[in-house]
Amino acid sequence: MKGLIKKDLLNLASYKTSLFIVIIFCSIAIAWTTSVTFAPIVISTIIGMIVLSTFNYDEISKSDKYILSLPVTRKDVVLSKYILAVVSTVIGAVLGVILTIIIVQIMNMVRSSELINLNYESLLSTAFGGMFGIALIQSIQIPSIYKWGAEKGRIQMFVLIFLLILLILGASFLFTKIGFNIDMSSIESFLNKFGILLFVGLIIIMYSISYKISYKIFSHKDY
């Protein structure tokens, strides 16, 4: 298991610079827009997506066959991908939260005339919301990569994001059209109370179902 994770991490080493650029970009964006909800979503999404590219490395080098000839079980192979996915999403969100706190502190120190109000609760909700989003994408993406391969899986990812946006836009359009008034304040108060718990629960359920589907596909796969 350790070897499998190390293999993926070494493959991802080339993303070090890109990640550094993302962090710089986010820092500037926080300072510029004074938005405290930005970094956790962006960083966890980017790291979460980068992790999925380990499938591309395996596919380009046709590594799957070789990996299965090593002392590992198919369960280990699938599980290692999910451990990496979950850990990277969490690290992304934590990194985003820490970065936001640091940048806001610095900004408040150097620009005491316009203090940014850092609401830790909403920062946390955003972080969990970001994690939920990327967990949803990964949970759909990983089984489809096991089923159809990384190349086709990538196309599906864009289709998926497009469909999600379309769905949200369509729903809001429909609600306005039929004159349905969403009580945003009650949703907000519900999310403020139970949001984090809800997100954590959904994230665990999504990853668990996704893992089971991936393992089922992979355990029957012939090379």
Partner 1 sequence: MENAIELKEVSKEYPDFKLDKISFNIPKGSIVGLIGENGAGKTTTMKSILNIVNIKGTIQVLGKDHQQYEKEIKQELGVVLDDSFLSEYLTAKGINSIMKDFYSNWDEKLYFDYLKEFKLPSNKLIKEFSRGMKMKLKIITAISHNPKILLLDEPTSGLDPIVRNEILDIFRKYILDDEERSILISSHITSDLEHIADYIVFIHNGKIIFNLPTSDLLENYGIIKCDKKDFEQLKEKDYISYKKGKYQYEVLVNNKVEIKKKYKFEVIDKPSIDEIMLFYVKGEK
Which residues in this chain contact partner 1 in the complex, by CB under 8 A?
A: 2-3, 6-7, 10-11, 14, 57-58, 60-73, 220, 222-223
- Rounded CA-CA distance 40/125 in Å is 10
Closest approach, Cβ 196 to partner 1, in A, equals 35
Q: Which is nearer to partner 1, 180 or 223 (CB)?
A: 223
Q: Which residue has the tokens 């306005």?
A: 176
Q: Which is nearer to partner 1, 74 or 147 (CB)?
A: 74
- Rounded CA-CA distance 204/196 in Å is 12
Q: Which is nearer to partner 1, 67 or 107 (CB)?
A: 67
Neighbouring C-alpha atoms within 13 Å toward the C-beta of 90:
9
Number of helices followed by number of strands (H, E) in the chain: 8, 0
- Rounded CA-CA distance 38/42 in Å is 6
Closest approach, Cβ 64 to partner 1, in A, equals 7
Closest approach, Cβ 143 to partner 1, in A, equals 20
Q: Locate 33 and state its tokens.
A: 């827009």
Q: Which is nearer to partner 1, 6 or 216 (CB)?
A: 6
Closest approach, Cβ 75 to partner 1, in A, equals 10
At residue 67, what is the residue type? Answer: I
- Rounded CA-CA distance 141/157 in Å is 7
Q: Which is nearer to partner 1, 65 or 177 (CB)?
A: 65
Task: Confirm if 107 and 29 have CB atoms less than 8 A apart.
Answer: no
Q: Locate 204 and state its tokens.
A: 């665990």
Closest approach, Cβ 76 to partner 1, in A, equals 9
Q: Write down how long the chain is.
A: 223
Closest approach, Cβ 68 to partner 1, in A, equals 5
Q: Which is nearer to partner 1, 8 or 153 (CB)?
A: 8
- Rounded CA-CA distance 107/30 in Å is 9
